[in-house]
Amino acid sequence: MLARIFLVLTCAASLCSAPAAHAERLKDLASIQGVRQNQLLGYGLVVGLDGSGDQTTQTPFTVQSVISMLQGMGVNLPAATTLQLKNVAAVMVTTSLPAFARPGQTLDITVSSMGNAKSLRGGTLLMTPLKGADGQIYAMAQGSLIVGGVGAAAPGAKAQINHLSVGRVSAGATVERAVANSLQEGSAIFLELKESDFSTASLVVDAVNKRFGPNTAAAQDGRVIKVNAPMGTDERVAFLGALESLALTPAQGSAKIILNGRTGSIVMNQAVTLEACAVAHGNLSVVINTDASVSQPNALAAGQTVVTASSQIDITKEPGKVLLLKAGASLAEVVKALNAIGATPQDLLAILQAMKASGALRAELEII
């Protein structure tokens, strides 16, 4: 029982031996406002599949897309034509346009089937425009797919390794339009902390002013920090490079415990503390055993063979124990106290919630 608890709290216990605080680069704590990725999305067709494409009777949009593509190329089909396609699949193409991307730069793309294609292995993505949230085309995608899986099927048997309906094309998209940014505008840039914290914001301001001079940085709130930067392009880039490499020790985050009710996983950080409290824990188990017995009539009798089920139900309740948990000021003491309960990870979910409600647990509970 205790071994299971130790496995669940492995991450928490490992933090006990780590240093209480360490220096981190500013680029790991904050990002520059306006320097960000933009998501791109496109709809396209994958051709050249070996009979593993969409079933056109169930995915009519695949046939409509093929007809529209052929008409754009000057091929007009009779109105009564019924296409039976097995080597074509309708797909969605996704990628991220990085900051400062320029026309001609290539991007990796992910191609995902949106119909009932069995596999995209061996297929080729036809030219697909990739659009941003504003509806503008920012890249064009095309290329041969690489699918990290394989599958085979025969009557009554099927084998598959990995996922066959998603593929990737390295350097499969070419940037056609750049996204404007405001990095060179104004006399200041703004840093945005990845997690709002007034203490960390104050530490960042002190570190920047100590490195680049007084009044260089000023905190706007617990997340945004205004930093005065040089106006020249070369000077500003060099300044931002030095700014991102600045090392400082962030303030300790708030105490938090993450509970996963589906898997029973529990992870806590080193700021968690525990007040003295008493916990009662008992288990109720119900075991049902069913045996099937066959009643066979005599050879000359007109009866029928009957199968009857005999069930036995056992209910066992372990006596509840009241345990006194001493106050713990460190993560190691908290882990030791929780292990003393002798509960399973699933039981700990309810116990931690009850301890939080009683005020004995000094931490924020987040259930995912």
Tens of pLDDT along 28-76? 999 998 888 999 999 999 999 988 888 877 788 888 888 888 888 888 8
DSSP secondary structure string, 209-252?
HHHH-TTSEEESSSSEEEEE--SSHHHHHHHHHHHHT-EE-PPP
Task: Please choose, from the candidates 125, 121, 147, 144, the residue with its C-alpha nearest in 3D space to the C-alpha of residue 47.
Answer: 125
Residues 6+ apart with CB under 8 A from 223: 192, 193, 196, 201
- pLDDT > 90? residue 321: no
Rounded mean pLDDT, 87-109: 94
* pTM as predicted: 0.69
- pLDDT > 60? residue 12: no
Q: Is residue 147 a contact partner of residue 113, using CB atoms and an 8 Å limit? A: no
- Based on C-alpha coordinates, what's the Rg of the chain? 31
Q: If you average pLDDT over each of 78-92, 126-140, 348-362, which comes out highest?
A: 126-140
pLDDT per residue as tens digits for the range 123-180: 999 999 999 999 999 999 999 999 886 666 656 666 667 778 899 999 999 999 998 8
Q: Are strands 361-362 and 284-295 parallel, antiparallel or unpaired?
A: unpaired
Weakest mean pLDDT among 13-27, 190-204, 223-237:
13-27
Residue 61, CA distances (Å) to 86, 87, 198, 234, 342 in order: 14, 15, 52, 51, 57
